Amino acid sequence: MMKLYRYVGPEEIRQRAVGRTPGFRVESVPALAQWFRALLPESKEEDVIGVTFVVDEEGWLRVADRRSEHVACAEGRLVFSAGEMFFDCSESAPRVVEVSNHSTGFCPEPESWPAVAAALDRIPLDHPGRFTREVVFRRCLKCGQRNLVKDKWFVCGMCQAELPKIWNF
Ligand SMILES: [Zn+2]
């Protein structure tokens, strides 16, 4: 049973996302290639393109322009994972070359990878078989700040309090 994540970011960002175009649900490789052409009509063929992604409640990959908030991409709903994905678009079929769970809106765990793999396999898209960059998120129990833990340094960047060793959103 895979875990669903709810939005844990600022309320004003959630409010701003209401009514925005949700992420594009990727159901086939040609559909994704077409989406990229519409997104970046002038991009050079060798471009590696980064996007915002979520895995929605139905297990589908949804992608959006990289400037989009994850909560808008997800239409404010629950997700199985979220982060950033980079595609090599130099050939007719886009290929996933980098993927991370970097989403400060949902703060998903690195353990959410199987949901991402399942969503990519379903399309099907080749992928690296893991998050190429894993992000560890913790909420500070003292000040409430959402932290990215770097180099296993479990200390709040805002108030210097010690952060929990276990995921806590
Ligand atoms: Zn703190």
Distance 162 CA to ligand 1 centre (A): 8
Contact 70, 20 (CB under 8 A): no
Distance 143 CA to ligand 1 centre (A): 4
Distance 146 CA to ligand 1 centre (A): 8
Q: What tokens appear for 61 in the block? A: 């990959």
Rounded CA gap, 128 and 97, in Å? 6
Which residue carries 């594009």 as its tokens? Answer: 24
Distance 156 CA to ligand 1 centre (A): 5
Distance 83 CA to ligand 1 centre (A): 23
Rounded CA gap, 103 and 166, in Å? 18
Distance 163 CA to ligand 1 centre (A): 8
Rounded CA gap, 139 and 166, in Å? 10
Mean pLDDT by 10 residues, the chain (169 residues): 94 94 96 89 74 98 96 97 94 92 98 98 96 98 96 96 97
Distance 7 CA to ligand 1 centre (A): 20
Q: pTM to 2 decimals? A: 0.94
Distance 4 CA to ligand 1 centre (A): 25
Distance 138 CA to ligand 1 centre (A): 10
Rounded CA gap, 46 and 85, in Å? 16
Q: Which residues of 17-36 are buried (b: 16+ CB within 10 A; e: fewer)?
A: beeeebbbebeebeebeebb
Q: What's the pLDDT score for residue 44? A: 62
Closest CA to 101 of 123, 70, 73: 70
Question: In the chain, which ranges are continuous DSSP H helix?
Answer: 11-17, 29-39, 70-73, 113-122
Distance 141 CA to ligand 1 centre (A): 7
Amino acid at 29: V
